[in-house]
Amino acid sequence: MASCMGKGRYGVCFLAVDPHGKKVILKKFRRRMWKKNMANNYHESVILSGLAHEQIPQLLGVIRERKQYYFVLEYKEGDTLKDWLFEKNKIFNRTEIYRIGIQLFDILKYLRSRSVVHGDISIANVIDDGEHISLIDFGLARYAGDEDDFWLDYARAADVLLYLLYSGYPGKGKRPWYEELPLSSEQREFLRGLIEAGRSENGDFGEKKRQVENNITNIKKQFQEYFEKDCS
Ligand SMILES: Nc1ncnc2c1ncn2[C@@H]1O[C@H](COP(=O)(O)OP(=O)(O)O)[C@@H](O)[C@H]1O
Ligand SMILES: [Mg+2]
């Protein structure tokens, strides 16, 4: 078969080649996890088969072999943002951060339209080829119960942006990011609003959400307005 791409909570991913010579990902599940997940209607395969987006891997099939289950997923070129940052020590400039942010909010807009919460947005689950990002790993995805559910993803998207912003900044972690990172006040309040709105459970998050306006279209617009200026 092929090379191991990493071990996670639910199993292992392999890079393989299909009969036509095309790269695919085989995601193998531990049987116990498969059964446990199958009981829920938000199984990764169910969610993925309802999605069609250039920047989300397509589910190509499910294989059962010797009591093992595998997903066959479309292979997305590039490296995870985590590898770019921590293996390759890449410094993301503001133009690149803007590109990645816009694309990420675009994908979230699409997921919102399909009522899907990804549930695990992180630098490990975003692949970038230098031009396009892809959002992978729908292992914790589910259908949204209500509007508030989506805020988890928005907050985690802001976290991803913070990681990228920190890559270009030497004095890491002595003070909170909103004091340390060189951001305009609009940029800072925008990111803070997303992060705080996503974190608060039942408390005062209504107000925070209003600050960033309660929908993904506006979030994307605001990101565009506040971060486009940085691009050179
Ligand atoms: N569609 C894909 N295209 C390219 N690489 C992938 C794809 N899916 C997974 N990978 C690689 O395999 C790793 C683990 O896959 P992931 O779906 O995130 O599972 P988990 O985090 O549960 O182990 C990813 O970090 C990535 O490097
Ligand atoms: Mg993952």
**Tens digit of pLDDT for each residue in 34-71?**
666 666 545 788 899 999 999 999 999 989 888 788 89
Bridge partners of 26, per DSSP, are 14, 72
What are 28's strand-pairing partners? Answer: 12, 70
Compute the CA torsion angle 128, 117, 48, 6 (nearest 10 deg). 50
Contact 125, 76 (CB under 8 A): no
**Residue type at 222?**
Q
166-215 pLDDT, tens digit per residue, is 998 876 678 899 999 999 999 999 999 999 887 765 555 555 555 444 58
Q: With a 6 A CB cut-off, is 164 part of the ligand 1 pocket?
A: no
pLDDT in the model for residue 36: 67
Rounded CA separation 73/76 (Å): 9
Beta strands in 162-222 (DSSP E): none
pLDDT band at 156 (very low <50, low <70, confident <90, very high): very high
Q: Residue 23: CB within 6 Å of ligand 1?
A: no
124 lines ligand 1 (CB under 6 A): yes
Architecture (CATH level 2) of domain 3-74: 2-Layer Sandwich (3.30)
Atom 21 of ligand 1, nearest CA residue: 8
What digits encode the pLDDT tens for the residues 121-153? 999 999 999 999 999 999 899 999 888 889 999
76 vs 153: CA distance, rounded Å: 21
Domain with CATH 3.30.200.20 in the chain: 3-74
pLDDT tens-digit map of 69-92: 889 999 999 999 999 999 999 999
Instruction: Check residue 152 and give its pLDDT.
Output: 93
Q: How confident is the model at residue 20 (pLDDT cuts 50, 70, 90)?
A: very high
Architecture of the domain made up of 79-230: Orthogonal Bundle (1.10)
The answer to whether the Cα torsion of 188, 126, 215, 227 is positive or negative is positive
Comparison of pLDDT for 94 and 4, the residue scoring more: 94
Query: Ligand 1 center to residue 137 CA distance, Å?
Result: 6
- Whether the model pTM is above 0.75: yes
Share the mean pLDDT of the chain. Answer: 88
Q: Would the CB of 139 count as within 6 Å of ligand 1?
A: yes
